[in-house]
Each structure stands twice: as structure tokens, then as C-alpha cells.
Amino acid sequence: MPQISEKGKLMPQSPIRKLVPYAEEAKRKGRRIYHLNIGQPDIPTPRVAMDAIRNNPLKVVEYSHSAGNETYRKKLSQYYRDIDINVDHTEIIITAGGSEAILFGLMSCLNPGDEVIVPEPFYANYNGFTVTAGVKIVPVTSYIDSGFALPPVAELEKLINPKTRGIIICNPNNPTGYLYSQEEIEQLGEIVKKHDLYLFSDEVYREFCYDDLTHFSVMHLKGAEENTVLIDSVSKRYSACGVRIGALVSKNKEVMATAMKFAQARLSPPSFGQIVGEAALDVSPDYFREVQEEYISRRNMMVGALRDMEGVVCPMPKGAFYVTVKLPVDDADRFSQWLLSDFEHNNETVMLAPASGFYATPGYGKQEVRIAYVLNREDLGKAMTCLDIALKKYPGRKV
């Protein structure tokens, strides 16, 4: 029998989706599941973006330029300039989601066998992207006691060796909701300049910063233009996950020229997705104010409910729409499966994302889960009630 590839064997299973079979079986039993496991917002996609599809006169769905439609890139460059990121359209490549942007960035900048330092817990799909690129993740651990703040610079520098070629961050962070401060970003900037590394920054949640805090991009770093690579996406910003449109942005011309080769190899990014992305740039600032207020309301209610549960440790997330919490359970993977296979309250249950899949260090995150507060307040409240009751009934409860 033919064998699959070694790379295929190394590809990790998604920790976010590995419980799907159990959820499907629970649904077959007639149970309602509150999905707190995945970052799929229920916020409506802006009407201006939807109308651009509904009213489009396109007769032929043609290839676009491999870097994306020029009209879109020029409009997007103005969006960046409005937030003090000075790029032009030639420094932007439109990609099939932020995922492709990360892959293009890694494959353009790193060789197989190179290492990237990533603060953990981190977005689980970084594991898959680095395996695809033949790159090794070297984790530096952040801890729930500090709200998952960036570990001390000295801890990062200890991990730098001749194989180290970059650092990856997500800001605001998925899965923790942590928002890196300007000081933390500037510290990373000094490290990458000192050691001649790349700094990959996944900033897809830029618009979602709370408590009067502001976002500081790696593209604001002075003197690090050749070191920085920005990853962006319309998925969460405009609640348009399915259009699969992202962007790779850098002032480093050699990086962009190399990434363009990968872009040409896949021909072009999705045509209708680009139409949505370009139209969404016309959305009113009121849209983001209303969405932000909604997420703050959900966050405050959820954090209050979690902190009222005995044994639960819940930091206050400052951005995105996730939080990583510690539960009084023996094993969060086992508990999350039990929620779907053995538990119900009024024929309802909750689906969580076990945090073990967001760590590279074996054994870490065993009692933690990521929760996405992407449900309306009524459903989120019911989900919290389910979780509270489940924690009291779980056979493996650990206080």
C-alpha cells in the first residue's frame, strides 16, 4: 500500500475541530450546542460589502493580478495610511485569507530547518503553517497569572541561536485576548534588529481593542522596516470569514518579490472575495464602534460569569474576542469531549477548544480552554449556565 508523506504525518490535527465528530453525534441526539470553540462571529457582514456582490455586473469571473486587484490594493494602502502605516499598493499582496499570507511569509523568509520563536499559547494553525514550510516552532511561554503578557525579553533572547530566523506574534492575541503594548512591540523590534531576524505580526484583530487601549503595529517600528512582515485579513474585521481574503504587507522589497513568486504559482486570490474586501473598506466608522461595544458587553458578562464559577481562573482580555481560562478539571481535552458526549442541561451543552493544542510545550494547557465570545448575550448567558453546571457535575473535577 502506498505511504503518505512524512510531512503529512507531521501535520497536526486542528485542536479547534477535532471534537467535531462528538458535536455531530450530540446534534443527532437533538441537543443544542453553544459553539464557543471557534472564532466565527455572528455579527452581520457589512451591508455595503454584501451589496457589492448582489449588485455586481460581472459577466466573466476572470483571474485578477496575482497580487490582487490594483483598485483593491490602492484602496487598502489608503486604509493603512489612515492608521499611520505608510505603505503603497506595491507593498501589498492580497492572499487567500490570512492563512496564505502566513505561508507566503514563512516560505519567502525562512529555509527548511530554520526556527521561529512564538509566545505560547498561540494560534494553533501556526503549527500547520510551520510544518508546511519545514520550519520549527520554538515556544516561549506566557502565563495566565500575568494575563499572558509577553515574557521578559531575556527569556526570548535565551532561545536565539544560529538557526533562529524569526519571531511570530498575534496582536491582539488569539487565543488569549492579550493586547501587546507599544513598549512590548518596541522591545521585539530591538531584538529583531539586534539579531537580524524577521518579525511576523498577525494583526487581524486590530480593530478590536478595549478599555481605551490602542493598537501599536509592528509597521510603526522605526528602523525595522526590512525586518517586519504584516499579516492581515478581512475575516474577523468585517465578519466575513468565508470570503478567504487576507494580505501580506512589508516594506522589504526582496521579501515581497519572493512572495510574489508564490502568488503567481497559485494564479490569483478569490475574485468575489476581493470584491467584498474592497467594498468593506467603505464601511462607516459607526460599524466598528457598534461592534466593539457589542464585544465589550459580551466580554464583561462572560468574564463576570466565569469568575463567579468556583475554581475558574479568567484574565480580562483586552482585545480580539477570545479568552483562555483555567478550569478546575483533571484534563481539559477530556472535559471538552465529555461536555459533548455525556453532558446535557435542558438538552443543551457547550463546545470549547482545549488549550493544549495552542501550546508547543508538551503537557502545557492541560487545564485550560479557549472560549470565543462570538454569541449574542442571551445565548452566551445560557452557555455560561451550562458550563457552570457541567463543572459541578464533571467526574474529573479538580479543585
Which DSSP letter does residue 45 get? P
Q: Are 45 and 242 in contact (CB under 8 A)?
A: no
Across 356-384, average pLDDT: 96
Which residues on neighbouring strands pair with residue 136, listed in sequence order? 115
Q: Check residue 15 and give its pLDDT.
A: 72
Q: Check residue 287 and give its pLDDT.
A: 94
Percentage above 70 pLDDT, the chain: 100
Q: Are 220 and 171 in contact (CB under 8 A)?
A: no
Q: Are 135 and 114 in contact (CB under 8 A)?
A: yes
pLDDT for 14 beyond 90: no
Show Cβ contacts of residue 390 under 8 Å, excluding neighbours closer than 6 positions: 335, 338, 339, 343, 345, 349, 350
pLDDT tens-digit map of 115-137 = 999 999 999 999 999 999 999 99
pLDDT for 399 beyond 80: no
What is the fold of 58-280? Aspartate Aminotransferase; domain 2 (3.40.640)
pLDDT tens-digit map of 233-263 = 999 999 999 999 999 999 999 999 999 999 9
Q: Check residue 12 and give its pLDDT.
A: 86
pLDDT for 17 beyond 90: no
Given CA atoms 369, 370, 373, 374 in this order, what sign does their dihedral have? negative
Range with lowest mean pLDDT among 11-20, 217-226, 256-265: 11-20
Beta pairing class for 136-141 and 115-120: parallel
With H, G, I as helix, E, B as strand and everything else as coil, classify residue 262.
helix
CA 49 distance to own-chain centroid: 22
Query: What is the Cα–Cα distance from 298 to 289, expressed in whole angstroms?
Result: 14
Would you list the domain boundaries of the chain? 6-44+286-393, 58-280
- Band (165; pLDDT cuts 50, 70, 90): very high
pLDDT tens-digit map of 276-300 = 999 999 999 999 999 999 999 999 9
Query: What is the Cα–Cα distance from 267 to 263, expressed in whole angstroms?
Result: 6
Q: Check residue 274 and give its pLDDT.
A: 98
What is the fold of 6-44+286-393? Aspartate Aminotransferase, domain 1 (3.90.1150)
The three-point CA angle 45-46-48 to 5° equals 135
Across 156-166, average pLDDT: 97
Mean pLDDT of the chain: 96
For the stretch 12-17, contacts whose Cβ atoms lie closer than 8 Å and that sit 24 or more positions apart, written own/partner, are 12/124, 12/127, 12/128, 12/131, 12/357, 14/124, 14/125, 14/128, 14/357, 15/124, 15/353, 15/354, 15/356, 15/357, 15/358, 16/124, 16/353, 16/357
